[in-house]
Amino acid sequence: MNINPTRFIVVLLLLVLAAPALMMQQPIGQATAAAAGAAELAPEPRHRFASRLASRFMTSYHYRSPELDATFSQRVFDQYLSVLDPNRMYFTAADVEALSEYREHMADAVRTADLEPAYEVFNIYLRRVDERVEHAVGLLEEGFDFTVDEDYHFDRSQAPWAGSSSELDEIWRMRVKNDWLRLKLADQDESEIVETLTDRYENLQRRIHEFNNEEVFSFFMNAFTRSIEPHSAYMSPRTSDNFEISMRLSLDGIGAMLQRETEYTTVMEIVPGGPADLDGRLQPGDRIVGVGQGDEGEMEDVVGWRLDDVVDRIRGERETVVRLEVLPADTGMSGPSKEIRLVRNEVRLEEQAASKEIIELPAGDAVRRIGVIRVPVFYVDFEGRSRNQPNYRSSTRDVRRLINELKAEDIDGLLVDLRGNGGGALVEATTMTGLFIDTGPVVQVRDSRGNVKLEQDNEPGMAWEGPLGVLVDRRSASASEIFAAAIQDYGRGVIIGEPTFGKGTVQNLIDLDNMARDEQTRLGQLKLTMAQFYRVAGGSTQNKGVIPDIRLPTAGDPDEYGESALEFAMPWAEIDPTDYQRVAELGPLIELARHRHEMRLETDEELIGLLEELAEWEENSHRDSISLLESVRREEMEKAEARRTARFGGVDEVDSALDDDLEGESSVAEGEDDDEEDLYLIETARILSDLIDLDQERLLAHRQTDR
């Protein structure tokens, strides 16, 4: 990693920080009274100093250089309310109107360090939380009638603010009724349900009252940074410490990126090489509703908890057991939930290393051998590289070795599998591209002043000159997109899969502690977007990502995922192309291969089954409400169980490749049949095999024409 001798650390990873901004906080607006007996929160001198520094760096060095005007202030105001009340369960429209006196001054509050309004908002928010919890606990004394036909709208993030307290009462009645019904469907009796939910709501209240001055400052500063664009962030001293631990890969846990969605902690990404990845059952989109310690520890209900607190429960000493109760993504809010037992461990580099396999396909009377190299992340031992150690570890070196091994096994084509690869070292994206082109530019990097730097492959020759495919999905990002874009622009291979994430920006870390007035004062760090990637053909990978030459059928609308779905994401842009030489024009062959792929979608039984599963998933994916009729919920749960039984033969301990494929990634769970097919990988290999056939037919036709 390049380290600037001043205070900037170039971050070359896709950094997805599940910020505490998704937690709840306090509002501004009327009288500032927190819960009885609770001290009101207020900014500290170090927060004011950090605020001024952050404002200066954001306006001077950010790629966008925001203007701190009234329009931007309104954006910060809305973001802060969203940080505090993302599901619009606490504030009313009247609250928001009362708070609007701050709407045009929030950005200036950061510049001038006038932070009182942010803390006033937060203190009022505490009052609203107390009111809602009191109401929710009171509802438990009344019980519910589950024969009444009504729906609970669990996603209110885009709904209007409630018009009155009585409207909020009704929203919370539905929420509590849904919570009760879910526990009833899990076979808890009435007394257990009342105890569980009372604890849940009182814990929610207690945890929100545990927020301190530091955390409120962090919430407000992240509302400010994310009003510029989504990858800039303020990291408190605690968050900075956790980030440095994760960069060293020495944090023991399960290896999953988590985020807060409505009242649930949701799995955003499974880290390659971690315990969850090796186990195979926990999947992106799963909602964690309970955490238990050891094999016998009580399962703690974590619905409504702060993200940090859930993470703290999941982390622990190496080789210890943690049990997760999850609502699987493929069964939705109706359940049923399932329990996953994991053994905590560190994410091991060797488990993230590139790996290989061979897929054999029929090709007339012969067998075609397609080599596959899986690259989970673009990794490099920076220290060994800087010391010029002869055997330092890197993804490029490992891939070169694997290519040589596959060539010795007489492969006919090569697939590079980048599904779920969130990025890594820019230098590795450049050098790995160099394994498949002779020499030339790989990516253009433009800074905020408009200066463009070329990252080039200067090593002559190719490790693999034969047919090449690159498999990507919506979670292929950053360095993965640089590699795939270069292969596509050079015409060196075919890109297959989903449109990629679309993260085409570069972040630097600014350590504010270096500017503190004394060594004891900690100010945190800023993650600042300071440059943008552009393809050699001139277009950016930002926002649009890399569009595959042949798309595979997948769940969901590409526009609802990735960078383009993030608020205030930087737009796609274009600069002049650089000087490079295309290897081939693959368009005509790709069109013919796409036709063959589409024919298989209509005739291949496994692919037809996949399409049916995707259609069923699609049907339920846009639901923002759920029935509160017990009969309907039981029927939905029974159907989900029946589908799972039909798919897995009644075994719930392992998930099929299809579940993985719904997320665009394949893994083999412990104890799972190694012959379980990864349908996306198999079909991608077939597409590459088709291209080989079509190219041979083209060459044969040319020879016959020449005669």
Q: Does residue 325 sit in the same domain as residue 362? A: no
The answer to whether 325 touches 288, Cβ cutoff 8 Å, is yes
The predicted-structure confidence for 21-68, as pLDDT tens digits, reads as follows: 323 333 333 333 334 445 688 999 999 999 999 999 998 889 988 888
Of 231, 203, 261, nearest in space to 82 by CA: 261
Coil, strand or helix at 391: coil
Kindly name the residue from 503, 544, 659, 661 that is annotated as catalytic: 503
Cα–Cα dist 706/363, whole Å? 26
Of 287, 320, 343, the residue that ends a domain is 343
The answer to whether 532 touches 517, Cβ cutoff 8 Å, is no
- Residues comprising the chain, all counted: 707
In the predicted structure, residue 333 carries a pLDDT above the cut 80: no
CB-count burial class (<10 Å; 0-12, 13-18, 19+) for 482: buried
Provide DSSP, 594-613.
Answer: HHHHHHHHHH-HHHHHHHHH
What pLDDT was estimated at residue 82?
A: 94
Between the CA of residue 538 and those of 173, 175, 434, 452, 499, what are the distances in Å? 54, 50, 19, 11, 18
The predicted-structure confidence for 589-619, as pLDDT tens digits, reads as follows: 999 999 999 999 999 999 998 888 888 777 7
What pLDDT was estimated at residue 219?
A: 94
In a domain, 590, yes or no: no
Q: What six digits make up the tokens of 86?
A: 């993302």
Q: What is the CB neighbour count within 10 angstroms for residue 376? A: 23
Q: What six digits make up the tokens of 371?
A: 């080599």
The answer to whether 196 touches 189, Cβ cutoff 8 Å, is no
Q: Specify which residues 470 forms β-bridges with.
A: 416, 495
Of 524, 553, 582, the residue that ends a domain is 582
Q: Does residue 324 sit in the same domain as residue 355? A: no
In a domain, 563, yes or no: yes
Cα–Cα dist 205/201, whole Å? 6
Confidence of residue 243 (pLDDT cuts 50, 70, 90): low
Is residue 478 annotated as a catalytic residue, yes or no?
yes
What pLDDT was estimated at residue 535?
A: 97
Report the alpha-carbon angle 447-453-456, nearest 5: 145
The answer to whether 415 touches 469, Cβ cutoff 8 Å, is yes
Q: What is the DSSP letter of 563?
A: G
**Pairing, β 366-374 against β 355-363:** antiparallel
Q: Does residue 465 sit in the same domain as residue 513? A: yes
Of 242, 231, 236, 245, nearest in space to 217 by CA: 236
The label of the residue with tokens 């408009």 reads 450
The predicted-structure confidence for 551-594, as pLDDT tens digits, reads as follows: 999 877 777 788 998 999 999 999 999 999 999 999 999 999 99
What is the identity of the amino acid at 688?
L
Q: Does residue 56 sit in the same domain as residue 191? A: yes
Give residues with Cβ within 8 angstroms of 229, minimum separation 6.
63, 64, 505, 529, 568, 569, 570
Q: Does residue 325 sit in the same domain as residue 359? A: no
CATH number for the domain spanning 279: value is 2.30.42.10
In a domain, 171, yes or no: yes
Of 283, 312, 343, the residue that ends a domain is 343
Q: What six digits make up the tokens of 489?
A: 């622009």
In the predicted structure, residue 170 carries a pLDDT above the cut 50: yes
In the predicted structure, residue 263 carries a pLDDT above the cut 50: yes
Which stretches within 409-463 are classed as H helix? Answer: 426-433
Q: Does residue 288 sit in the same domain as residue 427? A: no
The answer to whether 77 touches 103, Cβ cutoff 8 Å, is yes
Name which residue leads in pLDDT, 651 or 46. 46
Name which residue leads in pLDDT, 93 or 613. 93
Q: What is the CB neighbour count within 10 angstroms for residue 252? A: 18
Q: What six digits make up the tokens of 627?
A: 């029935």
In the predicted structure, residue 349 carries a pLDDT above the cut 80: no
Report the alpha-carbon angle 84-89-93, nearest 5: 85
What pLDDT was estimated at residue 319?
A: 86
Q: What six digits make up the tokens of 48?
A: 């004011």
What pLDDT was estimated at residue 485?
A: 98
Name which residue leads in pLDDT, 363 or 250. 363
Provide DSSP, 114-152.
Answer: --HHHHHHHHHHHHHHHHHHHHHHHHHTT---TTS--EE
Kindly name the residue from 489, 655, 660, 690 that is annotated as catalytic: 489
Is residue 511 annotated as a catalytic residue, yes or no?
no
Number of domains making up the chain: 3
Q: Does residue 354 sit in the same domain as residue 330? A: no
The answer to whether 464 touches 526, Cβ cutoff 8 Å, is no
Q: What is the CB neighbour count within 10 angstroms for residue 354? A: 24
In a domain, 623, yes or no: no
Range of the domain at 62: 24-31+38-210
Taken in order 635, 641, 644, 646, the sign of the CA dihedral is: negative
Coil, strand or helix at 441: strand
CATH number for the domain spanning 481: value is 3.90.226.10
Is residue 503 annotated as a catalytic residue, yes or no?
yes
Cα–Cα dist 402/423, whole Å? 20
Q: Does residue 277 sit in the same domain as residue 399? A: no
Cα–Cα dist 72/58, whole Å? 13
The predicted-structure confidence for 492-529, as pLDDT tens digits, reads as follows: 999 999 999 999 999 888 899 888 888 778 888 999 99
Q: Does residue 384 sit in the same domain as residue 325? A: no
Taken in order 153, 154, 157, 162, the sign of the CA dihedral is: positive
In a domain, 632, yes or no: no
What pLDDT was estimated at residue 647?
A: 57
Q: Does residue 109 sit in the same domain as residue 152? A: yes
In a domain, 678, yes or no: no
The predicted-structure confidence for 299-331, as pLDDT tens digits, reads as follows: 988 887 877 788 888 888 888 999 999 988 766
Task: Report how far apart the first and last C-alpha atoms of the chain are (Å, whole number).
Answer: 56
In a domain, 508, yes or no: yes
Name which residue leads in pLDDT, 87 or 640. 87
In a domain, 637, yes or no: no
Q: Does residue 353 sit in the same domain as residue 335? A: no
Overall average pLDDT of the 272-279 stretch: 83
Confidence of residue 657 (pLDDT cuts 50, 70, 90): very low
Of 412, 400, 392, nearest in space to 375 by CA: 400
Q: Does residue 437 sit in the same domain as residue 553? A: yes
